[in-house]
Structure 1
Amino acid sequence: MTTLRSCIERCFGDIVYGDELFWHQDLKPHTSGEFSIAVVQANSTLEDQGQVAATPFGTFIGVYDGHGGPEAARFVNNQLFPNFCKSAMEQKGVSADVMRKAIVATEEEFLRSVERSFPYRPQIASVGTCCLVGAVTEDMLYVANLGDSRAVLGRCANPSGKDVVAERLTCDHNVSDVEIRKELKQMHPDDSDIVVHTRGVWRIKGIIQVRFFGSSI
């Protein structure tokens, strides 16, 4: 019987470091083919996280673009994959509902963590992260996105496989988009300042343009 512990076995293998701000991993096998990963750190305090992991149900990929600090991205990097495994085990496979349940459970856990930390770390309420995740299982690819990280699929344009076409799989959740602004205003009808035009652009609460995971702003 597959246990949750064995499901959470990571498949990073040997990591190659180019310097302190860059690392990569060459092609490694996963359940439906091969994968590689590369990370370039933009500054000395890394606010972003990324992961690739194999499970009996498929291969899980996550990219978390932190904002306001590293705490939210680190939390999601630690908790989302176990929640994904738990949900996949309960439903005996991967589906859009499995992805949704894992993300909702992780955000609820993070918000509880923020509530506990707020009395002595009030800045934690302004920390968040974009969340872009995917799962490859057999001949299916599931993608979930909140924020402005983008998933792009390379697709063969002809049978020879020589020409590859980039196909965008996600839409940005940015309040420069009028539909995103309408959605936020509908979600927060009692908050007239939920979206504010300031410094030449639209911003959530006058602070940030992108919708993201975890932050209470």
Structure 2
Amino acid sequence: MRIVAPCWRPSIEGENSGRGDVAGRVDGLLWYKDSGRHVNGDFSMAVIQANNVLEDHSRLDSGPLSSLDSGPQGTFVGIYDGHGGPEASRFVNSRLFDNLKKFTSENQGMSEDVITKAFLATEDEFLSLVKKQWLSKPQIASAGSCCLVGIICSGLLYIANAGDSRVVLGRLEKAFSEVKAVQLSSEHNANFESVREELRMLHPDDPQIVVLKHKVWRVKGIIQVSRSIGDAYLKNAEFNREPLLPKFRLDEPFHKPILKAEPSVLVQRLHPEDQFLIFASDGLWENLSNQEAVDIVNNSPRNGIARKLVKAALQEAAKKREMRYSDLKKIERGVRRHFHDDITVVVLFLDYSLISRNSNRGPSLSIIAGGGVFANGST
């Protein structure tokens, strides 16, 4: 912990923009911000580390969604689940939101096209970085990140996903007085038949585009996700050679990207029945079903709810290994990865009275998980 603590220590600029824990708190390998306000309601965030180096990165931004004073206001959530190292997820966390604001300004509004452009621009920037560092740091070519983004703007909800993180909506079914789970994101994982079919259609001349290894479907027998930012070694053949590690190198050449960075985008209007959104990396969903997560949020106090979801996932992970939760908590990072993944959770509660005003304005807020709270526009 003497090594990891400086990476987690939060820094604060501006005014006290949260409630209760202000910039978030650290408890061993857990970072959490139990409660805060975004322009459309309350929120809660939590991250638990399992890898030697945290590969999950995330942020929440509330306020301006463009660089223009007259531009739209809203709430942005980004969940970036890295693989092959933290470089891609860390880079996306620092660049994607800025690119989104740039294209929102240029297009004078939010749209599906704006979000897609932000993803692809961030991808281009990261691949340029890989090219610059290829000779000195070739293994960055094997770093990639799943990217899940949610935006609330002008009464609309935009969900963009590349990879296998997931967002689930808790929606009140008035006829039954129950809150039902509604999955909003499309996951790009080769274990889904629809994803394998898409890959075969995109690569009709490659019979080995998906391979079943140890009962798990993988793209080229290497990676489960079919979309990501990064993973340059599967997008540009110039990076699929020495000195990249042999386990990432393909035997046969390829002439077009094997993985895509373009996200699947959903746009829908929010309604009074829409109660809350749960954004999380796949580490949560490996241990909790959509409805289990929604039931926990619906039946618990808002304060600390993201931390409670993380705990529920860890309890389930311990149960699967026939061990006590208290013993799991004692396991150090790195070794922890054998029991569960890094897990990031952001819960957004939806206040329809605020959402329906459209021109909602308030103090701007930016929280980078584990890295601090930045208020009134200073990031």
Question: How many Å separate the matches in 2 of 1:12 and 1:71?
Answer: 29
State the distance in 1 between where 2:121 and 2:213 align. 34
Give 2:190's aligned residue.
Answer: 175
Aligned counterparts of 1:147 and 1:105: Cα–Cα separation in 2: 17
User: Which amino acid is the alignment partner of residue 120 of structure 1?
Assistant: S
Asked if structure 2 preserves the Cα contact closer than 8 Å seen for 1:31 and 1:137, the reply is no
Q: Tell me the equivalent position of 2:61.
A: 53
Q: Which runs of at least 4 in structure 1 moved beyond 6 Å after TM superposition?
A: none
Query: 1:50 aligns to what SS in structure 2?
Result: strand
Choose from 110, 113, 125 the match for 1:109: 125
TM-score computed with the length of structure 2 as normaliser:
0.51
CA contact (8 A) 1:15 1:23 kept: no
Offset, 1:45: 1.1
Partner AA of 2:229 in structure 1: F
RCO (CA 8 Å, sep 6+): is it higher in 1 or 2?
2
Is 1:164 matched with 2:179?
A: yes
The residue aligned with 2:308 is none
2:214 is the counterpart of 1:199 = yes
Equivalent runs, 1:10-159 vs 2, <5 Å: 13=18, 14-56=22-64, 57-158=73-174
Give the unaligned 5+ runs of structure 2: 1-13, 65-72, 235-379
- Structure 1 position 32, deviation (Å): 1.9
Q: Which segment drifts farther, 187-196 or 97-106?
A: 187-196
Q: Mark the structure with the bigger radius of gyration.
A: 2
Higher strand share: 1
Unaligned runs of 5+ in 1: 1-8
Farther-moved stretch of structure 1 (87-96 vs 186-195): 186-195
Shift of residue 12, structure 1, vs aligned partner: 7.0
Deviations 1:34-61 (A, max 9, x none): 2221222223410110100123221110
Moved more, 93-102 or 127-136: 93-102
Q: Given the two structures, how large is their TM-score scaled by the length of structure 1?
A: 0.86
Distance 1:163 1:18 in 2: 34
Q: Deviations over 1:187-209 (max 9, x none)?
A: 34454433222222221121121
TM-superposition CA deviations, 1:142-187 (whole Å, max 9, x none): 0000111110011122289x63221110122111223322322333
What is the Cα deviation at residue 92 of structure 1? 2.2
Pairs aligned (count): 207
Matched residue type, 1:89: S
> Compared with structure 1, are the counterparts of its residues 112 and 192 closer, same or farther at alpha carbon in structure 2 (3 Å cutoff)?
farther
- Residue 30 of structure 1 deviates from its aligned partner by 1.9
How far has the Cα of 1:33 moved from its partner?
2.0
Matches of 2:208 and 2:130 in 1, distance apart? 23
The Cα offsets for residues 53-88 of structure 1, whole Å up to 9 and x where unpaired, read as 123221110001110100000000000010011111
Q: How far apart in 2 are the matches of 1:163 and 1:29?
A: 25
Q: Paired residue for 2:200?
A: 185
CA distance in 1, matches of 2:121, 2:17: 25
Identity %: 49
